[in-house]
Amino acid sequence: MEYRIEHDSMGEVQVPADKYWGAQTQRSYGNFKIGSEKIPKEVIIAFSYLKQAAAMANFRLGNLDERSKDLIGQVCEEIREGKLDGNFPLAVWQTGSGTQSNMNVNEVIANRGNEIAGKKILHPNDSCNMSQSSNDTFPTAMNIAAVCEIQDRLIPAIDLLVSTFLDLEKKNKGIVKSGRTHLQDAVPISFSQEISGWRSSLERDRELILATISPLSELALGGTAVGTGLNAPEGFDTEAAKAISELTGKSFQTAPNKFHALTSKSELVQAHGALKALAADMMKIANDIRWLASGPRDGLGEITIPANEPGSSIMPGKVNPTQCESVTMVAVQVMGNDAAVGFAASQGNFELNVFMPVLIYNFLQSVILLADSIRSFNDNCCIGIEPNRQKMHENLHNSLMLVTCLNPYIGYENAAKTAKLAYAENISLKEACVKLGFLTPEKFDEVFLPEEMAKEQ
């Protein structure tokens, strides 16, 4: 491998000749060979918006020349286009402020920009990091990445599954089945009502997640090292937030209190709590679907779902609810990530939180896993859900909890006696009710109408 010599304030370092990073990136790369987890590309893309916006703000404020501003912007666009992939190798398990990743981006922009210019114009610190500190850029990149991934990736996935459930509601209207509580038989419910519960849960989760966007849109940039804004010109924070909004097409504002913005990560904790709520509902929905599809002969068998793969290496013909299992594993991971996010956010000692890389790594993993798993669940399972009408009808009319409709006519205690006798002697509710003398056969038939108990609107 060929190398070139780069230097920083600590001296000279050998860097691979085919990479654009510099000495500080190389030191971190060598010092933190821990795990396989790298700073997410979504954070690097967020940094590209941030660095371009900072250059625009510095230019507007008269502190950066136009050529430098344009070079920084051009390289940042290349980063977003994926042209510089492979130049951001640093581990999550680095300094807790993300300083080395901030410098990684600065060095790549400077070296690539100077290559474009054909001469040395940009400096990693003086040009690319002008008016900034790692302490305010990394939390800013975290929030940009969080907002963009939620709005551009997760919300569309939720909307897709909501649309599928709406279609299933319309398609299955009028089908009445047994409800279940405590995994026991309960009074009737229509299949469309059951689906509407899944759909409404997702709609509420969407609301809760979107409610976190406004707090996440307040950026630390401009606070520099400890929140005082040292070495940042007046108005830089507002101009930079304005430029980030222009570049991303999203609404960002400067945080009103930079001391809070540097050390507290409560906004990300709140947002991840909403992600955990979505994960909890996805766990419930996926479990409902695999229970309802259990069988095909010895389970509930009230619905069928697409058969995507062979389910066993030893049992021929077995098919398993693999998409449901994938969703529930993702839900477990998100719930675990929530603990990591909370613990990391609690480590805001004095003027800076120094658990930021692990926090945003887990946060973004949750967003991406939820979005991808919801799309897969929709495309490979939910759009193919079909009711087993015969099985639903059999289960409905076999349910002892239909006795509930007799309460107004024979009272709760007599209805309980009817159900217990029917169960003990394995006879129908009608036979038990008549045998106990509570109703005549004719009156029983008049008031016992299972399909009307669901009260479908």
Just list the catalytic residues.
Answer: 182, 312
| CB atoms inside a 10 Å sphere around CB 242 | 18
- CA separation for the pair 209, 277 (Å, rounded): 9
In 3-state terms, what secondary structure has residue 419? helix
Residue 316 φ/ψ, nearest 5 degrees: -60, 135
- CA–CA gap between residue 290 and residue 324 (Å, rounded): 6
Burial 149-185 (b: 16+ CB within 10 A, else e): bbbebbbebbebbbebbeebbeebeebbbbbbeeeeb
Q: Rounded to whole angstroms, how far apart are CA atoms 153 and 172? A: 29
Determine the Cα–Cα distance for residues 271 and 267; give it in Å rounded to an integer.
Answer: 6
DSSP calls for 331-399:
HHHHHHHHHHHHHHHT-EETTEES-HHHHHHHHHHHHHHHHHHHHHHHHHTGGG-EE-HHHHHHHHHH-
Q: How far apart are CA 155 and CA 147, in angstroms?
A: 11
